[in-house]
Amino acid sequence: MVLLVDDEQRFAQMLAKRLELRGIQTDVFFSGEKALKAVEAGKHFHVAILDVKMPGISGIELKRKLSQADPQMKFIFLTGHGSCTDYETGICEAEDYLTKPLKIDRLVQVINRLVES
Amino acid sequence: MKEQISKKLGIVETRFPGNRKEYLHAYYTFQDYGQIWGMTIFVLLAASLLPLVIMTIIHYQLIERSIDTESLLRTERLASNARRAVTFFLEERLDALTFTANEMSYRQLSDLTSLSTVLKNLKLGFGGLTDLSLIDDTGNQVAYAGPFSLEGKDYSSQPWFIECQKNNACVSEIFLGYRDVPHIVVAVKSQRPDGRFYVLRATLATERLIQTLSSFRTGEHADIFLVNREGLLQTPSQHYRDGSQHVTIPVPEYSDRTKSLMTIDNQGHPIAVGYAYITTNIVPTTFVLMVVKRKESMMKVWLDLRAQINWVFGVSSVIIAIVIFLTSSFMVNKIYQADREKAKTMALAEQNFQLASIGQLAAGVAHEINNPLALINETAGYVRDLFMIKQQYKDDQELIEHIDAIIDAVERCGTITRQLLGFARRFDIQTQAIRLQDMVDDVLNFHKKEAQYRNISLRVNIPDDIPDIKTDRGKLQQIVLNLVNNAFQAIDDDCFLEISAAMEDPEHVELVIRDNGSGIPEEHLSKIFEPFFTTKKEGQGTGLGLSITYGLVQELHGTIRVDSNVGEGTAFFITLPIEVDKEMQS
């Protein structure tokens, strides 16, 4: 199970559909608060794909909170731009990060790797 | 020409207009430094040499005038002295005759023996007399004492006799007369007891007169002689005589006293002429005494002085000219250099401002575009997925190709927005100590294979005494990587790429990335840091690499500049603070 959080609703839906088409079951949330609630309610995800820049709880903040709630969870950040070396502190905290617009095959590859590990 | 001279002298290190970079034109205070240079030299030369020239000319004129006055005075004095001598010579003899005529009776004088005695005594007393004769009122010579046999001659028609009759005495011109020897006649008229008059006449040999005049002759080209009022020479002239015994300079106007004037002789020499119309106390004469001196012979002292003045003038002019030339070259060059620095700084400031504005705009645009791009990407991707999965579309290759084209385009846009954001971002800097050598080695490791394959020599010259610099590792790495990437694209096989470092001052280190590749044309140099400036074909380069590098250097509080010559290579100079935090605080 994959958790996808992005405030861009159509983007999130499209991405979720494409992941589903590739056999990856995806739950979509449009805000960090809702996603956090679901996890705190006991829902388990192997991998969380989080947009960094969101209104309300930012991706980085959400990642920390989700980690607390579910230490097993692995994270992938989606960023408009940036890298581990020169971007905001926090990106390196995730297992991996991808820049938008993304390549679906690369995302699937990363998810599979994280799920297997 | 001007430039050649200045180049030769090595003073004007830069040729003002030629050396000017096009893009700096607008920022210069003055437009034509060559002209300013020329004008400065001209004005300074005029201002300093003109008074000197005027002073010299005035000095010349003053001296020349005083020399003129002096030579006129001297000539006049000489003429005056000579006049006295000649007048005295004639008066003395006239007086002697007058005395004789008064002392002795007509009868005594008509006696040949006593006349001879008188002549003998006169010769003893005064000298210069040749003979003595007594002539009655009809002009007939009654008695004669002397070496010639002239008894009984008739003088009634002789001019001197006529004059003597009129003026009671006379002094003739020099003439040959019956005896065919040049002589002067002096005669006095006296009364006989019966009321008739007689004339006592003496002839004077001219030698005494000539001797007397000669004794006044001094210096070269000084001439002293007697002429009559028509200009016929009475005594010889050394320099001013023509074939018909006339003087070659005009006889000056009558004056009752000695005078002098400046004139020019027939050969064009300036001369001083002193003259006097000889008049005895008894009777006037036709003699005019002339003293002629060439001006140049009196001017030797002045000519020497003038030569000295000329020397002083010439040498000081040359010194002044050299000093002015050197000083103004130096000063104008300094002004030019200062102006050039100012222009560069202004150009750079404007460029920085422009780049910052573009950066802000670019960041805004990139952020706004990125989300819709991501959406297009996913939507197109989803449609593609659907086509791939649904059997009815699976074989429709054309549709798949169209969608792939959309996804490709989106990817290209994505690259641009990422780079735009990289150019503009202003995020906190994560400082850490970095050893430059290690960092450069890391970057070059990416290219080792390519360098080996293309036979490019990689040289690293970073001295061990360069301290670790505290800055943002990622950004610095990106800077070096970008520049190395650029260099690799610019150089041909078998070229070299050199990275060196040196301390610019205790606070800053300068990193130089140099290659001997194709170089950058001058007209591109000012634009290479601008976003979207590229010389590559469309689609091959975004033109953002160097502008991002520029932005990164700025973030690290450093400066970057480029030096390049087409065909010789390119060098990027990056100056970075040793501690970026310190720089930020200050």
Whether B304 has a pLDDT exceeding 70, the answer reads: yes
Lowest mean pLDDT among B5-19, B110-124, B287-301, B347-361: B5-19
Residues B32, B17 contacting (CB under 8 angstroms): yes
Distance CA A106, CA A43 (A): 26
State the DSSP code for B232: B
CATH 3.30.450.20 region(s) of chain B?
66-298
| Chain B interface disruption, residue of A81, A89, A107, most B CBs within 10 A | A81
A85 Cα to chain B: minimum distance (Å) = 5
A19 Cα to chain B: minimum distance (Å) = 9
Distance CA B160, CA B187 (A): 8
**pLDDT tens digit string along B510-523?**
999 999 888 888 88
DSSP-derived pairing of the beta strands A47-51 and A74-79: parallel
Question: Looking at residue B366, what is its pLDDT?
Answer: 75
CA angle B538, B544, B548 (to 5 degrees): 170
Higher pLDDT among residues B416 and B156, named by residue? B156
Distance CA B22, CA B347 (A): 11
pLDDT band for position A90 (cuts 50, 70, 90): low
The CATH H-level superfamily of B66-298 is PAS domain (3.30.450.20)
Lowest mean pLDDT among B175-179, B315-319, B333-337: B175-179
Cβ distance of A80 and B371 shorter than 8 Å:
yes
CATH 3.30.565.10 region(s) of chain B?
427-586
Whether B327 has a pLDDT exceeding 60, the answer reads: yes
Fold of A29-102: Rossmann fold (3.40.50)
State the DSSP code for B26: G
**pLDDT tens digit string along B32-77?**
888 889 999 999 999 999 998 998 899 888 888 888 888 889 889 9
Cβ distance of A14 and B417 shorter than 8 Å:
no
Higher pLDDT among residues B11 and B477, named by residue? B477
Cβ distance of B370 and A89 shorter than 8 Å:
no
Q: Find all residues with CB under 8 Å of B543, minimum gap 6, and list them.
A: B530, B531, B532, B533, B534, B536
pLDDT band for position A16 (cuts 50, 70, 90): very high
Question: Looking at residue B422, what is its pLDDT?
Answer: 63
How many cross-chain Cβ pairs, A to B, lie less than 8 Å apart? Answer: 76
CA angle B52, B56, B59 (to 5 degrees): 140
Q: Where are the beta strands (DSSP E) in B228-302?
A: 259-264, 270-279, 284-294
Searching chain A, which residue's CA lies closest to the CA of residue B414?
A101
List of chain A residues whose C-beta atoms are within 8 Å of the C-beta of residue B421: 80-82
Percent of chain B with pLDDT over 70: 89
List of chain B residues whose C-beta atoms are within 8 Å of the C-beta of residue A82: 421
Residue type, B38: G
Q: Find all residues with CB under 8 Å of B175, minimum gap 6, and list them.
A: B182, B183, B185
pLDDT band for position A10 (cuts 50, 70, 90): confident
Searching chain B, which residue's CA lies closest to the CA of residue A8?
B371
Whether B16 has a pLDDT exceeding 70, the answer reads: no
Question: Looking at residue B9, what is its pLDDT?
Answer: 41
Lowest mean pLDDT among A24-33, A36-45, B488-497: B488-497
Searching chain B, which residue's CA lies closest to the CA of residue A101?
B374
A35 Cα to chain B: minimum distance (Å) = 21
What is the three-class DSSP state of B169? Answer: strand
Residues B283, B170 contacting (CB under 8 angstroms): yes
Higher pLDDT among residues B392 and B341, named by residue? B341
What is the three-class DSSP state of B318? Answer: helix
List of chain A residues whose C-beta atoms are within 8 Å of the C-beta of residue B434: none
pLDDT band for position B8 (cuts 50, 70, 90): very low
Residues B328, B37 contacting (CB under 8 angstroms): yes
Searching chain A, which residue's CA lies closest to the CA of residue B386?
A21
Whether B10 has a pLDDT exceeding 60, the answer reads: no
Searching chain B, which residue's CA lies closest to the CA of residue A102?
B374
Cβ distance of A10 and B379 shorter than 8 Å:
yes
B378 vs A18, A22, A85: nearest CB = A18
B367 vs A10, A80, A82: nearest CB = A80
Query: Which of B408, B422, B308 has its CA nearest to residue B362?
Result: B422
Question: Looking at residue B538, what is its pLDDT?
Answer: 55
Whether B428 has a pLDDT exceeding 80, the answer reads: no
Cβ distance of A81 and B417 shorter than 8 Å:
yes
Question: Looking at residue B7, what is its pLDDT?
Answer: 44
Q: Find all residues with CB under 8 Å of B385, minimum gap 6, and list them.
A: A17, A18, A21, A22, A104
Residue with token string 């007369």: B177
Searching chain A, which residue's CA lies closest to the CA of residue B366?
A80
Sign of CA dihedral B206, B208, B212, B217: positive
**pLDDT tens digit string along B534-563?**
776 655 566 677 877 888 888 888 899 999
The CATH H-level superfamily of B427-586 is Histidine kinase-like ATPase, C-terminal domain (3.30.565.10)
What pairs with residue B195 in β-bridges?
none
The mean of the pLDDT values for chain B is: 83
Q: What pTM did the predictor assign?
A: 0.47
Cβ distance of B375 and A80 shorter than 8 Å:
no
**pLDDT tens digit string along B464-481?**
888 889 888 878 888 888
A101 vs B377, B386, B425: nearest CB = B377
Cβ distance of A85 and B427 shorter than 8 Å:
no
B465 Cα to chain A: minimum distance (Å) = 27
